[in-house]
Structure 1
Amino acid sequence: MYKFLTIIIRIAVAIPAMITVWLVSFFLLDLSFLSSSGVSLIGAAMTYGIITGVLYFRSLKKNELTMKDYRYIRKQLIEAKHKIRRMHKTLLSIRQVTFFKEMFDLLRTIRKIYQVTKKEPKRFYQGNQFYFSHLDSAVELTEKYAFLYSQPKKSREMEQVLDETRSAIKDMKTAIEKDLYHILSDDIEELNFEVDYTKYTTNPKQERLDFDGQQK
């Protein structure tokens, strides 16, 4: 959504610039229609590029990142996106209704972490364990589970492995939920502070009574 809005902003600025350059070139500089059109297109392209650069550096400043950090995180997010697609494809191949919800909840949590990090890249470093360990493990477990589950005949050993894999996926789901909580920990702390402050400002007498009661 943010990327779409930035494109709209760039186009919204570039089009008026193009029209202005064409009018100046055609009426004031007395250039031909084709020359004015060419100059106006160049002007629009330059304006679009300048706005892109401004928005890019504003994003770096907002997220407190260097260009090197931003490129590195962007590369990691592209890889994570491919892994999430693999996991989604694997999920669709599983026909076990009782376990499908568990897998779906896991995938939803993974997507939430990806979306939060994509929106605010500086959170990437809070999710190191997710991106460099838990995500790979989740994808590998689900793919192996789907492969074994798809076999027409299953031995007792295979059934045991499938059961152990289901248990491991549940444990991984819990670990990834903790990853999400860790990434959002700053927001949770800020929200708790705002709630406490709101309670104090809207009912200060009660807060003081509670405080005095605790002192006594």
Structure 2
Amino acid sequence: MRRFFQFMLQTMIGASTAVLTGLISFFVFNAAFLMSGLYALIGGSAGYFVTKQLMHVRFLRKEGLTRKEYKYIKENLIEAKAKIKRLQRTFRGIRSWQQAKQYIEVLVTVRKIYANTKKEPRRFYQAEPFYYKHLDSLVTLMEKYAYLKSQPSRTREMNESLKETHQTITELDGHIKKDLHLMLQDDMNTLHFELDVANQSIGHIRKHESEASK
């Protein structure tokens, strides 16, 4: 949504700059119609890209990131998106409702961490274990699990491996949920602070109302 509004604002400013540049070139500097159109195109493009850069700088300042840090986080998000797609493909081999329910919960948690980071890149540092270890392990295990599970004939050893892999996936699910909770810890602290302030305000209001009613 943020990117959509940014694009709309950039487009509006670019279009306005183009029209203004074209009119000034044609009426003030008496430039030919085609040349005025060319100047309008150049002015509009400049207005669009300058606005884009200014909004990007403002966004980085708000997030407290440098260009280098943002580039690094963006590269990690691109890699994470590809891994999440691989994760989604493992759902094709699911046959039981219980297994599907667990995998859906895993995917929801994974996508939530990714979405939070994409919206607020600085959160990447709050979920580094997820991006560096847990997501990779989860994708690898679930791909192998799905592959073994799809085999028409399985040995006792394969069944034992499937059971062990399923247990490890369950443990990883717990770690990933902790990653999400850690990412949201600052929000929870802020919420608790706001609740304390609100409760104190409500307490003062009730006290004044009680005193006024006496």
Per the alignment, residue 25 of structure 1 pairs with 25
Deviation at 1:206, TM superposition (A): 7.6
Misfit runs of 4+, over 4 Å: none
Distance (whole Å) between structure 2 residues aligned to residue 11 and residue 183 of structure 1: 34
Question: Do the aligned residues in 1 keep the contact of 2:93 with 2:149 (CA within 8 Å)?
Answer: no
- Cα distance between partner residues in 2 of 1:137 and 1:96: 23
Deviation of the 1:154 alpha carbon = 1.1
- Corresponding position of 2:201: 201
Which residue does the alignment assign to 1:144? 144
Question: What letter is aligned with 1:4?
Answer: F
Query: Matches of 2:18 and 2:121 in 1, distance apart?
Result: 33
- The answer for the alignment partner of 1:16 in structure 2 is 16
Partner amino acid for 2:127? G
1:153-168 matches, cutoff 5 A? 153-168=153-168
Q: Cα RMSD over matched residues?
A: 1.4
Q: 2:41 maps to what in 1?
A: 41
Distance 1:106 1:21, change over 3 A: same
CA distance in 2, matches of 1:144, 1:2: 38
Partner Cα distance (1:205, 1:15) in 2: 53
CA deviation after TM superposition for structure 1 residue 93, in Å: 3.2
| CA 206–25 in structure 1, closer or farther in 2 if over 3 Å, else same | closer
1:78 maps to which residue? Answer: 78
The share of aligned pairs that are identical, in percent, is 40
User: CA offsets per residue over residues 18-77 of structure 1, 9 Å max, x none?
Assistant: 111111111111111111111000001100110011011111100111111111111111
When normalised by structure 2's length, the TM-score is: 0.93
1:123 aligns to what? Answer: 123
Number of matched pairs: 207
Where 1:95 maps in the other structure, the secondary structure is coil
Partner deviation per Cα, 1:85-115 (whole Å, 9 max, x = no partner): 1101112332332201101110110000001
Give 1:3 deviation, angstroms: 1.5
- Answer with 197-206 or 119-128: which moved more: 197-206
Aligned partner of residue 203 in structure 1, secondary structure: helix
Q: Which residue of 2 aligns with 1:107?
A: 107
The residue aligned with 2:191 is: 191
**Correspondence for 1:90:** 90
Give distance in 2, aligned partners of 1:199 and 1:206. Answer: 10
Using the size of structure 1 for normalisation, the TM-score is 0.92
What SS does the corresponding residue of 1:38 show, helix, strand or coil? helix
What amino acid does structure 2 have at the position aligned with 1:137? Answer: S
Q: For structure 2, list consecutive stretches of 5 or more residues without a partner in the other structure.
A: 208-214
Structure 1 unaligned spans of 5+: 208-216
For residues 205 and 44 of structure 1, the distance between their equivalents in structure 2, rounded to whole angstroms, comes to: 56
Structure 1 residue 121: Cα displacement? 0.7
Q: State how far apart, in whole Å, the 1-side matches of 2:130 and 2:95 are.
A: 27
CA 1:194/1:153 → structure 2, altered by over 3 Å: closer, same or farther? same
What letter corresponds to residue 190 of structure 2 in structure 1?
E
